[in-house]
A and B are shown apart, each in its own frame.
Chain A
Amino acid sequence: MIKLTNIQKYYGSYHALRDVSCHIREGEFFSLLGPSGSGKTTLLRTIAGFEGIDSGDLMIGGQPMKGVPANKRPTNMVFQSYAIFPHMSVAQNVAYGLRAQRLSKAETASMVSEALAKVGLAGYGARAAHALSGGQRQRVALARALILKPKVLLLDEPMSALDRKLREEMQSELRHLQRNLGITFVLVTHDQEEALTMSDRVAVMFEGQIAQLDTPQALYKQPASKRVAEFFGAMNILRADIVDVKDGVATTRIEGLGTADLPMPRQADAGTAPPYCAGVRPELMTILDDGAQSYERETAATVTDVEYRGELTYYDVKFQGSDTPVVVSMRNTSNRTLKTVGQQVRIGWESASAVLLVDRS
């Protein structure tokens, strides 16, 4: 649906988009995730037509978008501030883009009420724009964009102005809406949880570049770099030395854990040999009770801190022969007793728990 090829964008001397290429498929929920200043909003505005590009190609629905202004593109946008026109009622806002279609009053009215019903605002048409709450504004902005039946709906951090409860509600509603309509959604967000729960695929951006483009599961389980890994939840980072590489599998010596065969990171540049490290998620290691379970790999460790959080307990442990503190999280099931600080324990893990990461900036 959207094809970006080698997009370059400068603001003066600032390099905002560095050679961005990706393909957003038809009907998918695609997220651009990154910290502020990563270029995710610039990329979205480029797709919408509000920003030009200095080089590269942008195609939407098979059409090149070079020189096509925003009002002629098959995209519509939900703005971060929602941009609800303050001098118009809800119905007038929603009907705004229909003017060009020269519909009769009755047709317009029925389309507006249909669109409002779709976003759960049936009967709100006569309301003044200033009499709306934040969540209602977002729904009006959605209805206003969707009534034009765009090929692509662009959403610029639409949840950032909502409180937590409303945000979760809108996330699942938005997801349902997207599934039902089958329209391609492109969402910009800095909230990794939001990106994971809502998207079919996520492009993680840092400094104007796509660091990794993958499904939420792959991003969590097989992050390509240390930076991407740390962006999604907690990740223990350990020193790692590659002893040997064969068929994309690296025999790696991991600090404290010993040697394991790990797949080479995805999207790692061939040719160059960046420094590598190993990552292990806290929930993929287990503190073994005496003799009860057996694991593929076991490592002796000392508990240095215990943080009880009700559902989970977080242990800080140190592996024998390593100074790096490692976090292990344990679900507090009924038969588990809390370990104490200073206790010697055995940590159970498997080579699939660890992932080899590119350790670069």
Chain B
Amino acid sequence: MSRRMPFDADTRRGLSQISLPFAFSILLLAAPLALLLAMSFWTQDFLTLDRTPTIANFVEVWNSPIYRTLMLRSLKISLIVTFLTVSLAYPAAYYMSFVAPDNRKALLVFLITIPFWTSYLMRIFLWKVILGYNGVLNESLMGIGLIREPLDFILYNQFAVALTLSHAWLPFAVLPIFVVMEKVNRSYLEAAQDLGDTPFQRFRRITLPLSMPGVVAATLIVFIPTIGDYVTPKLVGGSSGLMIANMIEVQFKNANNAPLGATLALMALLLVSSVAGLFVWINRRYLKEEGAA
């Protein structure tokens, strides 16, 4: 009599295939998150970490206006960036998918990726060169006599952060919209026209609703990382352009208060997930109404 195996063959094969990614996600996703969550209930007193659970950090985050200001500023900047990139990306993706001839599409996708050929840091520094006090923009404007003194309000503020981030994330917004548009069956468009739609009506009733999943994907792809960005605000944001991630960094490093940093990170996470959830919910509502209209 053979020894009884704990699982049948199918189950074993399934387990062997899933266990590696599962371990991977436990170690790299669940464990750090759990640690972050645990740490937010601890406190730090100079060099000693006090592991007694307390909600002191949450109370502090809630009561100090600086954290709320930073949080809301991050939200505002990343919403602006998301709105800018997605609304610029949509026409670009539309052109690539519906206007450009088929044999040009690969080339256009290739061109879209060109900004990635230089490093992220290089691109941020480039914006410093363009927007700076003695930068390209000021020199040019003075050169053509539009201004006499260099403008000093175009760098080291929230505007500079939003501009730099938008430039960096635009390609990421174009691609998901383009991919979804490519999947829109062209006979839907002909059918809509055949049933009496003008090109604009057809866009509103068919193309836009069917490309919405791409818009949502682009929105999330841009919104989620930008709200947590800390390199761009640090380099072009000055003091008025700092965002929540800069504060988290400060807490973990300079201030040596990891528990407070963990709490802030957790709050930022909550904010991101609720706003992202809101986007998805709005999209569902929109699609439902579009169908009913």
Say whether B291 contacts A88, CB under 8 Å.
Answer: yes
Say whether B195 contacts A76, CB under 8 Å.
Answer: yes
Chain A hits for B271, CB < 8 A: none
- A315 CB, nearest partner CB in chain B, Å: 48
Say whether A85 contacts B188, CB under 8 Å.
Answer: yes
Give bound CA distance, A89 to B206, whole Å: 13
From 176 to 202 in chain B, residues with beta carbon under 8 angstroms from any chain A beta carbon are: 185, 187-188, 190-198, 201
- B291 CB, nearest partner CB in chain A, Å: 5
Say whether A97 contacts B291, CB under 8 Å.
Answer: no
From 73 to 127 in chain A, residues with beta carbon under 8 angstroms from any chain B beta carbon are: 75-77, 79-81, 83, 85-89, 92, 96-97, 99-100
Does B287 belong to the interface (CB within 8 Å)? Answer: yes
Q: Give which listed residue, A48, A75, A87, A144, contacts B290 with CB less than 8 A.
A: A87
Chain A hits for B201, CB < 8 A: 99
Say whether B196 contacts A79, CB under 8 Å.
Answer: no
Give bound CA distance, A332 to B29, whole Å: 77
Q: Give which listed residue, A69, A75, A86, contacts B210 with CB less than 8 A.
A: A86
Chain B hits for A10, CB < 8 A: none
The closest CB in chain A to the CB of B288 belongs to: A87
With known contacts A79-B187, A92-B292, A87–B195 Cβ distance under 8 A: no
Say whether A144 contacts B195, CB under 8 Å.
Answer: yes
Say whether A83 contacts B187, CB under 8 Å.
Answer: yes
Give bound CA distance, A76 to B191, whole Å: 9
Say whether A148 contacts B290, CB under 8 Å.
Answer: no
1/0 per position for A50-79, CB-CB distance to B under 8 A?
Answer: 100000000000000000011100011101
Chain B hits for A71, CB < 8 A: 193-198
- A133 CB, nearest partner CB in chain B, Å: 18
Say whether B193 contacts A97, CB under 8 Å.
Answer: no
Say whether B190 contacts A89, CB under 8 Å.
Answer: no
Chain A hits for B291, CB < 8 A: 87-89, 92
1/0 per position for B144-175, CB-CB distance to A under 8 A?
Answer: 00000000000000000000000000000000
Give bound CA distance, A48 to B191, whole Å: 10
The closest CB in chain A to the CB of B206 belongs to: A85
Give bound CA distance, A336 to B209, whole Å: 68
Give bound CA distance, A104 to B196, whole Å: 18
1/0 per position for B266-292, CB-CB distance to A under 8 A?
Answer: 000000000000000000000100111
Chain A hits for B193, CB < 8 A: 50, 69-71
Chain B hits for A92, CB < 8 A: 291-292
Give bound CA distance, A68 to B158, whole Å: 52
Give bound CA distance, A75 to B195, whole Å: 9
Which of A71, A77, A148: most chain B CB closer than 10 A?
A: A71
Give bound CA distance, A145 to B190, whole Å: 13
- Tell me the count of chain A residues lying within 8 A, CB to CB, of chain B: 26
- B288 CB, nearest partner CB in chain A, Å: 9
Q: Give which listed residue, A77, A81, A100, A144, contacts B185 with CB less than 8 A.
A: A81
1/0 per position for B40-71, CB-CB distance to A under 8 A?
Answer: 00000000000000000000000000000000
Which of A76, A83, A86, A89: most chain B CB closer than 10 A?
A: A83
Chain B hits for A79, CB < 8 A: 187, 190-191
- Tell me the count of chain B residues lying within 8 A, CB to CB, of chain A: 21
- A328 CB, nearest partner CB in chain B, Å: 46
Q: Is the interface of B mostly helix, strand, loop or mixed?
A: helix
Say whether B210 contacts A83, CB under 8 Å.
Answer: no
- A119 CB, nearest partner CB in chain B, Å: 16
Say whether B191 contacts A85, CB under 8 Å.
Answer: yes
Chain B hits for A76, CB < 8 A: 194-195
Give bound CA distance, A79 to B191, whole Å: 8
1/0 per position for A254-285, CB-CB distance to B under 8 A?
Answer: 00000000000000000000000000000000
Give bound CA distance, A16 to B87, whole Å: 40
Q: Give which listed residue, A81, A87, A100, contacts B196 with CB less than 8 A.
A: A100
Give bound CA distance, A81 to B187, whole Å: 8
- A236 CB, nearest partner CB in chain B, Å: 42
Q: Give which listed residue, B196, B198, B210, contacts A148 with CB less than 8 A.
A: B196
Say whether A83 contacts B196, CB under 8 Å.
Answer: no
Give bound CA distance, A100 to B210, whole Å: 21
With known contacts A76-B194, A76-B195, A148-B195, A83–B188 Cβ distance under 8 A: yes
Give bound CA distance, A4 to B205, whole Å: 33
Chain B hits for A69, CB < 8 A: 193
The closest CB in chain B to the CB of A86 belongs to: B210
- A37 CB, nearest partner CB in chain B, Å: 19
Give bound CA distance, A48 to B195, whole Å: 11
Give bound CA distance, A268 to B101, whole Å: 43
Chain A hits for B195, CB < 8 A: 71, 76, 96-97, 144-145, 148
Which of B192, B194, B210: most chain A CB closer than 10 A?
A: B194
- A52 CB, nearest partner CB in chain B, Å: 14
- B233 CB, nearest partner CB in chain A, Å: 39
The closest CB in chain B to the CB of A101 belongs to: B196
Chain B hits for A77, CB < 8 A: 190-191, 194
Say whether A87 contacts B287, CB under 8 Å.
Answer: yes
- A138 CB, nearest partner CB in chain B, Å: 13
Give bound CA distance, A51 to B188, whole Å: 16
CB-defined A-B contacts under 8 Å, sample of 24: A50-B193, A70-B190, A71-B193, A71-B195, A71-B198, A76-B194, A77-B194, A79-B187, A79-B190, A81-B185, A83-B185, A83-B187, A83-B191, A85-B191, A85-B206, A87-B210, A87-B287, A87-B291, A92-B291, A92-B292, A97-B195, A99-B196, A144-B195, A145-B194
Taking beta carbons and an 8 Å cutoff, which residues of A are in contact with B?
48-50, 69-71, 75-77, 79-81, 83, 85-89, 92, 96-97, 99-100, 144-145, 148
The 3 closest A-B pairs by CB, nearest first: A97-B195, A83-B191, A83-B187
Taking beta carbons and an 8 Å cutoff, which residues of B are in contact with A?
185, 187-188, 190-198, 201, 205-206, 209-210, 287, 290-292
